Homo-oligomer: A and B are copies of this chain.
Amino acid sequence: MVDVRPGDLVRVVKRGGLVIEGVVLPSTEFTSENHLVIKLSSGYNVGVSLEDAVVEVLVEKYLEPATSEETSKVTVFRGGGNLKIAFVSTGGTIVSKVEYETGAVRPALNASDLVEFAPDFQELSSELVVVDFMRKLSENMTPEDWSRISEEVGKYLRSGADGVVVAHGTDTMSYTAAALAFSLRNLGNPVVLVGAQRSSDRPSTDALYNLRACPIVVRDAPFAEVVVAMHGTTDDLYTLIHRGVRVRKMHSSRRDAFQSINDVPLAKVYVREKKFELLNRRYLPRTRSSDVRILSRFSSKVSIIKSYPGIDCEIFDYLVDRGYRGVVVEGTGLGHVREECVESIRRATDSGVVVAMATQTIFGRVDLDVYTTGRKLLKAGVVPVDDMIPEVAFVKLSWLLGNFPEDSPSEIKSKLVSNMVNELGSPQSVEIFPRWYHGDRLREAEA
């Protein structure tokens, strides 16, 4: 029997003529020596008995687990295509593996292993620069990290990359995507954040499929925006390309956890067919220029406060005392907090704190003109952020306070509600609200 290792692309020919081609997955306690688990190009995994079978290794690609924590290792590949792509890994599940001692998942793979695992990268690129930039689980990302990632990504855009792919943990991927969308302006080419809900060493990983979609976006996207590339369904059917300022992780574990909010996804990519399909005609067009503007400062003095019944209004005083300069309130409904808090909020705005109002309903827009509570909040200086996702309003406010330190609060407020990168003001569309399960009968009626 030939020497087959996880990551190898193999062809297994069984007696009788059945041919199975795919990538060998790491063996588990459930696989015996006489079996291989192979990931088919369809995305499905099959167990193959090697009895009466001929195995041929088509391409050797072993996913060597990295042991060092060193970062910023740069590897350059020369591929068979004509694109210049940079791949910047920041960590996350996509570069993680299961620690067999503890069972926990930690970032331990090299970025170059990842792109080798996704052959489309080298197939489509003439020059592929792979950077092991950070190894962070994304819950630990900070606004200072957003600055560092912005500078790194901006560097490759400036040096003529046709696109930059950023591997990132999924927990706060949408926050970082929004941060890059504000900090990298006049992009010229797309920046694609990609991640995985299952670590890359697991047979069920979604990393491979999502990774393979990225160079196709770089090749075909007509937009120059910061986007998120994650599974569109629970199967390997297509990867959705979401606008970075309009996407949210909406499930703790599903592969299709990332979904567009108050907007239609920009595109989808059918990886097997290498097909790119545009879904949304509202975007910043690609110019292929390399004169990106980098505004990479973020203030760490911005907070998100979620409103809830009986909230202690002194939290606003606390934030003023702690030197906060911005607060995004996740209000209820159209953007409300209890009336009792209006005075504390007024004291905050009087002290120069920018208080923005978003909604905890996530979908829809805030409107402080409808109810008396909203009107009082407006009078207290609160700025409603229209249909901006609360987390995006938080990132934008952090970015504004970081990059425009000379601006008055009213100038910051005005910029906060001015559309910059399609983060607000989507056209009203019934389709934007997802369809919920209301019983079989309905589902049948719809089908």
Contacts and interface: CB of A to CB of B under 8 A. Distances in A.
A309 B141 contact: yes
B447 A252 contact: no
Interface residues of A, number: 95
Q: Of residues A138, A336, A437, which shows the largest number of chain B Cβ atoms within 10 Å of its Cβ?
A: A437
Given A137-B371, A332-B139, A365 B310 contact: no
A436 B434 contact: yes
Contacts of A234: 430
Contacts of A277: 439, 441
A279 interface: yes
A249 B309 contact: no
B171 A332 contact: yes
A172 interface: yes
Nearest to A265: B438
Indicate the member of A176, A367, A370 with the most B CB atoms within 10 Å: A370
A260 interface: yes
Given A142-B338, A434-B437, A435-B435, A330 B306 contact: yes
A256 B259 CA distance: 19
11 contacts: A105-B370, A145-B309, A171-B332, A171-B333, A250-B362, A252-B366, A268-B439, A279-B439, A300-B312, A306-B330, A434-B435
Given A176-B309, A435-B435, 20 more contacts: A102-B372, A102-B375, A105-B370, A140-B338, A140-B340, A141-B310, A172-B309, A252-B335, A252-B363, A256-B433, A257-B364, A264-B437, A268-B439, A303-B308, A303-B312, A305-B306, A306-B330, A312-B322, A314-B322, A434-B437
